[in-house]
Structure formats: C-alpha cells, structure tokens
C-alpha cells in the first residue's frame, strides 16, 4: 500500500512571516520538508499544495511538484482535500510545511496501519517528551489516548493533569500535526461545520472527536519541531549541524 503525500504551504504567518521560504542551511524550509518526505518509501508521490506563485516557483526550482489551489481555504486540511481531487489515491498523508525535520520513517509507519486496520479512518503522529516547559506551553498541543491508542482528547492545556506524586517519570504525548486520511473520510471531514470544542481550542481535529469518530495515534521517537519563531529556526539549524546524516 502506498499513499499520496501532500504538503500544504502558504506564506501567511503572523509569528514568523513567510517562514515557508526562510533559508535553513542554505535551502528554503519547504525544500527540507519535501526532500525528507520524498525519502518515505510508502509515499507514491509528494505534492506541495499552495496558493502563492512564489512558493510554486521555489518548489519547481528544486525539482518538486506544486499544485496551485484556491485562496479561500480555511486551513491546510481543506487545501489537501482540493489536491486529492486530482489523484486516485485512497490514502493521503498531510505533511506540515513548517516541519523541516519531518522523519520519513515515521511517515512510512503511518501508511500500513490503514491496511491492517480497516476501521481506521484517520491517524496522526505524536512523540513522548519530558519537557516541563512544553507541557505548560499552549503552543504545544497535547494528546491523551485510550488503551487502544485512539485519541481521547487534544488540548493546548496541560493534560493529563497530575495530582500528587506520580508513580512514573514525567512525560506527555506531544501532537506532531501530521495526519493520514482515507480518501472518503477526508472529503466528508472538510465539509463538516466546526464544533464547539474546535472553536474553543482552535484545533480542527476536535471536530472529528466531537462527532464521535476516532483518531488513531501513532507514537514516534523523533520530535519534528514546528517552526514558528526565530528560536525554532536556530534550533533546527543546530540539529542539522549536529547530525548531518539527517540533512
């Protein structure tokens, strides 16, 4: 089984303007994301979905393929759904355009789950971390799961809250924002109206849970880092310099 990989990319960003095209180790951020996604053996093709000619030009400049989409999409998921209409793949992986350290092995781990579990309609990635500062940071999305590995809830708040002394070392699941969808489910999902929880938390995946549907969470070992600030850019540069093999 192989899937279509789509990287939604736009220039609008309040905290780090035009971050998709910011240079990291001599390459625009979107190139790092595309090159890593291309290493995934389970992705038949990797497409950048954008509404900006500058991004399209940059992608085509390094040999990638970009598809122009409408400008009125409310989020990247909706942009991915538009691109999917041009292809026949039953599975699509939504890869974040601001994660230049995305791990191709983690992407490969997502696709076979759909073949093994016919009831899985959507899945996502999370990493277990021990960062106390991140636990309290509302920009770091946390997820808690049931015994089967399906999400119970996603939140910007510190969950699960601990009362008293813990029996095990502190850790939590950090949501990485990469999703896999069955084709039919994605096209239905983007047509649903946002729910109350999504409106409160500003997390679109809560729309799925509010409707009683499940999201399978796959735990990976590597934190991709979503680049939102200059500090994030420096951290990515540091990691690339420390481990050139991942470059």
pLDDT digits (tens, 9 = 90+) for 112-146: 999 999 999 999 999 999 999 999 999 999 999 99
pLDDT of residue 174: 97
Yes or no: say if 120 and 113 are a contact pair by the CB < 8 Å rule.
Answer: yes
Confidence of residue 224 (pLDDT cuts 50, 70, 90): confident
What is the number of other CB atoms lying within 10 angstroms of the CB of residue 23? 11
Helix (H, G, I), strand (E, B) or coil at 53: helix
218-242: buried (b, 16+ CB within 10 Å) or exposed (e) per residue?
bebeebbbbbeeeebbeebeeebee
Q: Is there a contact between 56 and 14 (Cβ–Cβ < 8 Å)?
A: no
User: What confidence score (pLDDT) does residue 89 get?
Assistant: 96
Residue 193 lies in a domain: yes
Residue 240 lies inside a defined structural domain of this protein? no
Query: How many Cα atoms sit within 13 Å of 168 on the Cβ side?
Result: 3
User: Taking the model in full, what pTM does it have?
Assistant: 0.94
In the predicted structure, residue 85 carries a pLDDT above the cut 60: yes
Whether 245 is covered by a domain: the verdict is no
Q: Which domain holds residue 160?
A: 3-235
pLDDT for 1: 82
Q: What is the DSSP track for 198-226?
A: HHHHT-TTHHHHHTT---EEEEES-----
Mean pLDDT value across the chain: 93
Helix (H, G, I), strand (E, B) or coil at 161: coil
Calpha distance 243→247 (Å, rounded): 7
Q: What is the pLDDT of residue 164?
A: 66
The yes-or-no verdict on residue 68 having pLDDT over 80 is yes
Q: What is the mean pLDDT of residues 45-55?
A: 96
Contacting residues for 139 by C-beta, under 8 A, at least 6 apart: 156, 228
- 246 in any annotated domain: no
Give 170-184 pLDDT, tens digit per residue.
899 999 999 999 999
* Residue 240 pLDDT greater than 90, yes or no: no
Question: 97 near 7, Cβ under 8 Å?
Answer: yes
Strand-pair category, 91-94 with 122-129: unpaired
The SS3 assignment for 21 reads helix
Structural domains of the chain, count: 1
Query: What pLDDT is stored for residue 145 in this prediction?
Result: 98
Q: Is residue 243 part of a domain?
A: no
- The percent of residues in the chain predicted with pLDDT above 90, rounded, is 83
What pLDDT sits at residue 242?
A: 81
Q: Of all residues in the chain, what percent carry a pLDDT higher than 70?
A: 96
Query: Given pLDDT bands bounded at 50, 70 and 90, which one contains residue 101?
Result: very high
pLDDT at 243 over 80: no
pLDDT of 167 strictly over 80: no
- Tell me the C-alpha to C-alpha distance, in Å, between residue 183 and each of 22, 88, 95, 123, 213: 32, 9, 15, 13, 15
C-alpha pair distances (Å), 179 with each of 6, 8, 33, 61, 239 = 10, 12, 15, 27, 24
Tracing tokens 């090159």 back to the chain, one arrives at: 35
What is the chain's alpha carbon radius of gyration, rounded to the nearest angstrom? 17
Q: Which CATH number does the domain housing residue 110 bear? A: 3.90.550.10
Strands 27-28 and 23-24: antiparallel
């Amino acid at each position: 089984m192989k899937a279509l990989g789509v990287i939604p990319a736009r220039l609008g960003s309040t905290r780090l303007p035009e971050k998709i095209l910011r240079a990291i180790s001599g390459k625009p951020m979107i190139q790092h994301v595309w090159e890593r996604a291309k290493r995934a053996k389970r992705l038949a093709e990797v497409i950048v979905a954008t509404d900006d000619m500058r991004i399209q030009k940059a992608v085509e400049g390094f040999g990638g393929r970009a598809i122009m989409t409408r400008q009125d999409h409310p989020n990247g998921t909706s942009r991915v759904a538009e691109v999917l209409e041009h292809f026949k793949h039953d599975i699509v992986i939504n890869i974040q355009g601001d994660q230049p350290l995305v791990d191709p092995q983690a992407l490969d781990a997502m696709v076979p789950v759909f073949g093994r579990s016919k009831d899985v309609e959507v899945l996502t990635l999370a990493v277990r971390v021990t960062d106390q500062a991140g636990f309290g940071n509302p920009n770091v999305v946390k997820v808690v799961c049931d015994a089967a590995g399906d999400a119970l809830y996603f939140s910007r708040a510190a969950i699960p809250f601990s009362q008293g002394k813990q029996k095990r070392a502190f850790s939590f699941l950090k949501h990485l924002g990469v999703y896999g969808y069955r084709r039919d489910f994605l096209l239905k999902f983007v047509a649903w109206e946002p729910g109350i929880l999504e409106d409160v938390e500003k997390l679109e995946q809560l729309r799925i849970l509010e409707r009683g549907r499940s999201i399978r969470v796959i735990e990976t070992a590597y934190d991709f880092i979503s680049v939102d600030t200059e500090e994030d850019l420096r951290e990515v540069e540091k990691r690339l310099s420390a481990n050139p093999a991942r470059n």
